Amino acid sequence: MRWTLKPKPDPKKVKALQEAIKVDAVVARLLLQRGIETYDQAKTFFRPELSELHDPFLMRDMEKAVDRIEQAINDDENILIYGDYDVDGTTAVALMFSYLSSYYSKVATYIPDRYEEGYGISIKGIDFADDNGFSLIIALDCGIKALDQVAYANSKGIDFIICDHHRPGDQLPEAYAILDPKRTDCDYPFKELCGCGVGFKLIQALESNRGRSIDFLVPYLDLVVTAIAADIVPVSGENRILAYYGMQVINDSPRTGIKAILDQQKKAVFTITDLVFTVAPRINAAGRIQHGNYAVELLSEKDQDNARLAAEQIDGFNSERKDLDKEITKQALQLIEDSREKDKYTSVVFQSHWHKGVLGIVASRLIETYYRPTIVLTQDGEKLTGSARSVKGFDIYNALSECDDLLEKFGGHKYAAGLTMNIQHFEDFKARFEKVVAERISEHLRVQEILIDAEINIRDINPRLHRILSQFAPFGPDNMTPVFMSRDLFDTGYARPVGEDGDHLKLAVVQGNNSQQINAIGFNLGHKYEMVGNRKKFMAAFTIDENHWNGRIDLQLKLKDIKQDLKI
C-alpha cells in the first residue's frame, strides 16, 4: 500500500483554533484539514442544524414539480412512484410513498424487475402506468437519460417528474420537471445529493408549500441516511446535516422496517458503518435475488410482526447473495489467473451463467486482489450486461464514455457504473477499455493508497481524544474516520496471528522507551506477523477504536497497514 501523509496545516491556524474551541493540537489539525477554521464553523460541524439546509426551490424545476404534484392531488389523479431496485432507489420510493400517502390515497409504487427490465425507466413500467390509469410518474434515482422512455410516456399522456442525481447526457428528457443538481443549468448550491436526497428536497418543498416546518420531515431521515451510506456520496455539506439527524432517528426511533433489520444485530448503538455493512446489503439483496418490491414493502411497513417476518425473508436473500458472490468471485479470479492478464491495467471478465444481481459486488471483490478498474459481465439474451467499479482517483464513467460506440447503454458515477453491450462487441470493448485506461490512469493510482491525517504518539491516545473524534461522525467520503500513523513501535511479545486461518494479527504495542501499552488488531494482516515478531521495530497506520469484551471497554488501534521502513 502507498501511504500518503496529509500536509500539516499552518501552525498559527492550529494554535488559534485550539484556543477558540479548547481542543488538543491534533484535533485542531484534523478540523483544519476539513476546512474548519473558526469557532462558528466548528459549531456547525459538531452540531449541524436543520435550518442550514438549502432552500429546495433553489433547485431548477422544483416549483414546476411541486405545482404538478399539487395539481394531481387537486384533480384526483393517480400518482405512480417509480424507482431503481438498489438501496438509493428503494429508500427514495419508500420515502416519497410514505410522505404522499400520509395525506393522499391515490399513490402506488413501481420497482422495475432487475432481470426483465434492467436499470432505469422501462417501457414495461410506462405501460403499467398507462394500463392502470396513472397520469403522473415521479421517478427517483433514475430517468436523467431516459429520452425515449419519457417521449413514449408523453405520447400516452403521462407526465414525468424526474428526481435524479446522476450525470445527464448531452440532451435531457422532455419531462414535465427534472430535479437533478448535476444539471449544467441548475444553480443548486450542493451537487452531491443521492437520489433519495433529491427526493427529500422535493418533499421539503412540498411541506414548505403547505406552510409546515421541516421538523415534520425528520422521521424520514432514517431512509435518507441509509441511502447516503449505501451510495457512498460525500458526507459533507448538506449530506452531513441529513446524515447527522438521520443517525439520530436510526438510534432513537427508526421506522418499523429498518428497526426489524437492526433488531437482528443485537447492538445498542448503530453507526453509519453499520448501515453500510448491515442494513444496505440486506435492502440491496431483495433486488439482487428476488425483487426490489420486497425492500419497498419492508421500508413502508408499519406493523411490527409483518416487518419482522419481512426482515427475516430479506436476511435469507442476503445469505443467498453472499454465497453467490463468493462463488462468482472465486471463478472470476481463476479466469484472470488462467488468462495471464494479471499485469494489465484493467480486469474485464465475463461468464454467461453468472448471476446478474451480484456483479457489482464481485467487481469490488476483484479490486481487492487486482487493484485496477474492473468490469464484470454476464449474458442476457443476445446482450452482455454488468457492472463497473473503479479505484480511487480514476473516473470510470469517463473511460466508458470513450467506448460508448461499442455500448448499447451505460450510466453511473465516477467510481461505479452499469453497462450493456451486444455480445459481438465484447472483445473490441475489452481492448478499447484497456487502451483508454492505460492511457489515462496515473501510475500512482495503480497502488492502493492509505491517506493519513496525522502522525501521533501513542501516549496521546486517551479516552478524551476518542470521545472528541467520535463526534466527527457520521463518517464517509470527505469526512472519513481519521487515520493516524506512529513510528518506532514494538510489540511486547503478545503478537500472534488470529482467526480461523490466522488471517488477522493481534498485538500489544508500545512506542520507543515509553511504557504506555495499547492493544492493536489488524484484520487481514496475519501475513505480516514476521514484521513485528521478536520486538522488531515497525510503523503502523491505524484508526482509534473501542474494543468491547466481557463487559469491559478499552481503546485499541485498528491497524490498516504496518511497515518496517520508517519512512513514507
Q: What is the pLDDT of residues 321-361, one digit of tens each?
A: 999 999 999 999 999 998 877 789 999 999 999 999 899 99
Selection from 85, 132, 129 nearest residue 293 by Cα: 85
User: Position of cell 409546515?
Assistant: 212
CA–CA distance, 315 with 322 (Å, rounded to integer): 11
pLDDT band at 205 (very low <50, low <70, confident <90, very high): very high
56-313 folds as inorganic pyrophosphatase (n-terminal core) (3.90.1640)
What's the pLDDT score for residue 225? 98
User: Where along the chain do its domains lie?
Assistant: 7-43, 56-313, 340-446, 450-568
Q: What is the pLDDT of residues 224-237, one digit of tens each?
A: 999 999 988 999 99
| pTM score above 0.85 | yes
How many CA atoms within 13 Å lie on the side-chain side of 517? 10
Q: What is the pLDDT of residues 254-305, one digit of tens each?
A: 999 999 999 998 888 999 999 999 999 999 999 989 999 999 999 999 999 9
What's the pLDDT score for residue 190? 97
Q: What is the pLDDT of residues 435-492, one digit of tens each?
A: 999 999 999 999 999 999 999 999 999 999 999 999 999 999 999 999 999 999 999 9
The amino acid at 263: D
Query: 138: which residues sit within 8 A by CB, 6+ positions away?
Result: 69, 79, 80, 81, 82, 96, 161, 163, 202
Q: What is the pLDDT of residues 12-53, one digit of tens each?
A: 999 999 999 999 999 999 999 999 999 999 999 999 999 999
CA–CA distance, 73 with 554 (Å, rounded to integer): 56
Q: Is the CATH number of domain 340-446 1.10.3720.10?
A: no
Domain covering 450-568: architecture? Beta Barrel (2.40)
